């Protein structure tokens, strides 16, 4: 290939002097991603707190850290960076209790809807928090590499982007989703909304449908969406979490096509989640074969190193931008809100036979 794919950026620099991390919440994502990422990166963890004290003790024992007895004890940790690994509705309960001026990473999404996202944004401004949201897919090795390839001009101008999921997601691993009125876009496809924004900027509009499935009582597990960018750019989502007919035709991919090149991403984590399959990235240019890009890590846990590293480096003055700041994340929430509003609108009626 005429370009050196090994030169693509795949990781975020670590903070030079990392601060102790206090994790509030000890759910499955902490075991599967947060704590493995911080151990891998050598980021110090001061301890874990959860309303379920036994769960906090179990997680702390597994990872050789401290289980805080109370939220007040956790918050009192000197010099801490707070990692709020909480359901979206809990952020506004914990944020007011953090010290003014603290650095904090909020688990995505940024609240349950745009109204809560706005309240979180205003609270963070009022308390002068250095606050980011853990939209970590854009920090995964494969997506950092795609973004770098786009910035280098290797693909030319992007004209077609498609997110395609046709698989089975074990929703029983996320019991907090039961009874929530907003599920698929709010807690899953929001990753893709954020990543598309990171690469293409903000769209001007969206046409969307999101719905459930007879096999589950969750509010939504399937989504179709079309996003308005420039007149010659087609950006679409086709998401189905209910394809329970074996592995052969399951798929989890993101296709980026430009004027002179293209990239294909396989989201391996989502296939047979949570064990997953290897992530993959392939790149080509017109007239050339597809080239496999060797990846230096996976979405889980490596992307979680990036969000925490960027927060700590920004707080220390080492990074000039807080990539997933609450200011930026609000726009991802606004896009999700627009998708739900679009889904609630009737379709264009078809004229009846005269």
Q: What residue ranges define each of the domains in the chain, with the CATH number in brackets? A: 10-136+304-322 (3.40.50.720), 138-298 (3.30.360.10)
347 pLDDT band (50/70/90 cuts)? very high
Beta pairing partners, 257: 160, 262
173 pLDDT band (50/70/90 cuts)? confident
- In this structure, the strands spanning 21-24 and 45-49 are parallel
92 pLDDT band (50/70/90 cuts)? very high
Residue 2: the pLDDT is: 73
Distance CA 4, CA 160 (A): 23
Distance CA 302, CA 288 (A): 30
Residue 3: the pLDDT is: 82
Mean pLDDT (the chain, rounded): 97
Task: Considering only residues 2 and 204, tell me which one the structure prediction assigns the higher pLDDT.
Answer: 204
* pLDDT, average across residues 166-191: 94
Return the structure tokens found at 179. 């009874």
Beta pairing partners, 254: 163, 265
Report the 10 Å Cβ neighbour count for 151. 12
Per-residue pLDDT at 175 exceeds 90: no
Helix or strand or coil: residue 167? coil
Which of 176, 100, 149, 127 shows the shortest CA–CA distance to 283?
149
Per-residue pLDDT at 1 exceeds 70: no
CA atoms 160, 161, 167, 171: torsion sign: negative
Residue 341: the pLDDT is: 98
* pLDDT, average across residues 15-25: 98
Per-residue pLDDT at 277 exceeds 80: yes
Report the 10 Å Cβ neighbour count for 205. 11
Residue 60: the pLDDT is: 98
Return the structure tokens found at 298. 């996976």
Which of 210, 215, 33 shows the shortest CA–CA distance to 108?
33
Return the structure tokens found at 316. 């220390």
Judge contact between 294 and 145, C-beta under 8 A: no
Which of 146, 148, 335 shows the shortest CA–CA distance to 256?
146
Helix or strand or coil: residue 45? strand
Q: How far apart are the first and last CA of the chain?
A: 59
Which of 170, 148, 85, 145 shows the shortest CA–CA distance to 297?
145
Residue 176: the pLDDT is: 85
> Which tens digit of pLDDT belongs to each residue from 181-193?
999 999 999 999 9
* pLDDT, average across residues 251-276: 96
* pLDDT, average across residues 289-309: 97
């Amino acid at each position: 290939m005429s370009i050196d794919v090994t030169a693509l950026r795949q990781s975020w620099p670590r903070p030079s002097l990392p601060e102790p991390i206090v994790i509030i919440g000890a759910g499955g994502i902490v075991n599967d991603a947060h704590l493995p990422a911080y151990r891998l990166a050598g980021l110090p963890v001061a301890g874990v707190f959860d309303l379920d004290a036994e769960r906090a003790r179990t997680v702390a024992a597994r990872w050789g850290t401290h289980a805080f007895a109370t939220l007040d004890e956790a918050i009192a940790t000197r010099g801490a960076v707070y990692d709020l690994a909480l359901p979206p509705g809990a952020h506004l309960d914990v944020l007011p209790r953090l010290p003014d001026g603290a650095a904090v990473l909020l688990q995505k999404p940024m609240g349950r809807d745009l109204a809560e996202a706005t309240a979180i944004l205003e609270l963070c401004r009022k308390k002068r928090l250095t606050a980011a949201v853990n939209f970590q897919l854009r920090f995964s090795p494969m997506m950092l590499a795609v973004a770098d390839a786009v910035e280098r001009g290797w693909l030319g101008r992007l004209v077609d982007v498609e997110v395609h999921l046709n698989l089975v997601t074990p929703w029983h691993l996320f019991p907090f989703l039961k009874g929530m009125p907003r599920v698929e876009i709010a807690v899953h496809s929001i990753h893709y909304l954020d990543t598309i924004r990171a690469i293409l900027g903000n769209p001007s509009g969206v046409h969307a449908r999101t719905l459930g499935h007879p096999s589950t009582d969750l509010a939504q597990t399937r989504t179709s969406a079309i996003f308005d960018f420039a007149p010659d750019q087609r950006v679409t989502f086709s998401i189905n979490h209910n394809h329970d007919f074996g592995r052969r035709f399951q798929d989890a991919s993101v296709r980026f096509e430009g004027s002179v090149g293209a990239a294909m991403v396989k989201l391996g984590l989502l296939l047979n989640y949570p064990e997953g399959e290897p992530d993959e990235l392939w790149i080509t240019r017109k007239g050339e074969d597809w080239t496999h890009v060797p990846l230096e890590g996976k979405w889980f846990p490596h992307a979680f190193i990036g969000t925490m590293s960027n927060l700590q480096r920004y707080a220390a003055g080492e990074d000039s931008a807080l990539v997933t700041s609450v200011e930026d994340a609000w726009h991802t929430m606004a896009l999700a809100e627009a998708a739900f509003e679009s889904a609630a609108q009737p379709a264009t009626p078809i004229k009846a036979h005269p």
